[in-house]
Amino acid sequence: MTIVFLSVFLYALYELSSIFMVYYHNHQLLADVQQIYGDTEMERDEEEEIMEGEVREQFNELKEINHDILGWITVDDTKINYPILQAEDNDYYLTRNYEREESIAGSVFMDYRNDITSYNPNIILYGHRMKDDSMFNGLDKFLDEDFFYNHDTIYFDTMYESYEAEVFAVYNTTTDFDYIQTEFEDKHEYGSLLAEIQQKSKYDATVELGMEDQIITLSTCDYMLDPDKGRLVVHAKLVKKDGT
């Protein structure tokens, strides 16, 4: 019996050690890319004019690491400070980091239907909800009323432009609600989606929304409503920074 217990203990220890090493490797990898992005962001001249269609300086080195990197997302007082990737489908970066290595943490990635070189009414980002609080696990902080109202800005950069996104909704839902819709028959259909999103939100925001506005949608898994189809969603209105 002692041998059985010891075997079980050693196996559990091995599994925990393996998980710890995965988290540690992911943390180190993300720290490296955050250092690269942070250094170039600090060095960039804020007054420098960016020509239309020109890749912004802080993305040049990132593009050399992986051409699929096309943006950056930051949320204050969370661990969300990550590169955004995009593939030809929504599966590839579910299980790969920004160096294209297999990883249970995956990457933060943009819906393959979005195109940052053209107008997108609804830009969608996905990320796992990791137990070490990495990736999009920090989105659950928006479910707290104080956090929601005191962290009303999400910082969203693309290769070409920079935005301060005004948070206007957070809610738990399932994939039965098509909050990731990217194409609309007309502005009124888009306006109907915006109205439904605001109705679902746990809190009311003072952000003014119109059918001409672009939004960013942050989506991660959630188990409150359904173990498979449950999602936690945060929406924000995109406001372009001047000079970017």
Question: Taking the alpha carbons of 134, 28, 35, 68 in that order, is the dihedral positive or negative?
Answer: negative
Q: What are the distances in angstroms from CA 210 to CA 84, 121, 143?
A: 26, 11, 24
Q: What are the distances in angstroms from CA 32 to CA 2, 36, 41, 175, 209?
A: 45, 6, 14, 34, 37
DSSP 67-128: TTEEEEEE-TTSS-EEEEE--SSSSGGGSB-TTS-B-TT--EEE-TT--TTS--SEEEEE--
Nearest to 235 by CA among 175, 195, 187: 195
Cβ atoms of 182 and 122 within 8 Å: the answer is yes
Residue 76, phi then psi, degrees to nearest 5: -60, 145
- Asked about 235 being catalytic, the answer comes back as no
Of the residues 29, 94, 221, 239, which is catalytic?
221
Q: What one-letter code names the amino acid at 157? A: D
Question: For the chain, how big is the Rg over CA atoms in Å?
Answer: 19
Residues designated as active site: 221
